[in-house]
Amino acid sequence: MPQPREATVPPIHGHCDARFAAVRDAFEANFGERDELGAAVTVLVDGQPVADLWGGWADGARSRPWEQDTLVNVWSTSKGPTALCAHVLADRGLLDLDAPVATYWPEFAAAGKEAVLVRHLLSHRAGLAGLREPHTLAELYDWELTCARLAATEPWWEPGTRSGYHAITYGFLVGEVVRRVSGLLPGEFLRREVTGPLGIDFSVGLPEKEAVRAAELVVPKADRARQAALFARMEPVAVASLLNPPTGAAAANTAEWRAAEIPAANGHGTARAVAALYGVLAGRGSLGGRRVLSEAAAERVREGQGSCRDLVLGAGFAQETEIALGVWLSGPNGSYGPNPRAFGHDGAGGSCGLADPEAGIALGYVMNRMGPLIADDPRKTALIDAVYASL
């Protein structure tokens, strides 16, 4: 006989403005009705927190409570901050988004890629969704080797014509351009230029001294089976994007993963940190009075590059989707609320960052019980619906 909801919802900590009580209700319901393990959500309106909640457990054994400063790997929610690095450089006149990638990375021109533009990298239109040759996790942790293989490989489709989700390669492609222009890997660039000055608790990878704060990622057996069935039906380009090499909770819980630079997939942060990073974009380039991007540069981030059925993720979406320059547009699917020009990025298994400049809203949601979906997890959707219902 099912337990009553009150017995399955752990204590919820933090604060929530009365106007946004629906967010707290949805957060509690995620535990009682949607199998949440440990999680946090932060909502900012005009840069100020109106909800900042956390609860549950930081490990599968339920021995460590989720704390206010618990960090977790947020997978592709990391892509927004990685793209932000490129936009900062473009805003300073150091990077031209309409220039060929080979302008900054000459080796990249191999195998017919001389005309691939920087904007194609940012919008998953470069045709390099995954490597064609087998690539192990150990090789993925080698920045130079992974970038060299990407520079040498041929595209899966004609670059610029449509999107195909670059699940892991995105961070190396955008990140290597950032490195060639600035001399810094994207994680260090982000720390020096954004997260450090703004005091945002987010990093690409995780310093060893912070491992004590890290949540354990957990995938229930039922979700593993559902995901395996999905992968079995994928086209070769999707296999290359999502499974070469195979990643997942087991890999992400290791010291080796945390020590590596994987800007598309191993950003670690709190919900408050994710909300702040997307809050820079919701604030049209500034947060808390600190300007990171000009208004024009912040607006450019959500410049749509054309809607289509994504070559990698197409089977998982009922409609066409549109990727802008580092983020996904809410569009007709309403993935980031009712404003079609709101935008954000999901992480595999559930996490999410959202920005809506028109409403002044930013949201960060992080969790450690990974669901089977790459995007639009029901827990995230419930929280976003609650935010907009509160306005």
- Write out the catalytic residue numbers: 76
Contact 353, 80 (CB under 8 A): yes
CA angle 80, 82, 85 (to 5 degrees): 110
Q: How many CB atoms lie within 10 A of CB 370?
A: 25
Contact 376, 388 (CB under 8 A): no
Write out the two tokens for 270: 């709190």
Burial class (CB in 10 A: 0-12, 13-18, 19+), 289: exposed
Whole-angstrom Cα distance, residue 350 to residue 113? 34
Write out the two tokens for 377: 């997890």
Sequence-ordered list of residues with C-beta below 8 angstroms from that of 70, at least 6 positions apart, any chain: 38, 40, 54, 58, 213, 214, 215, 270
Write out the two tokens for 131: 């490597």
Place of tokens 């919900």: 271
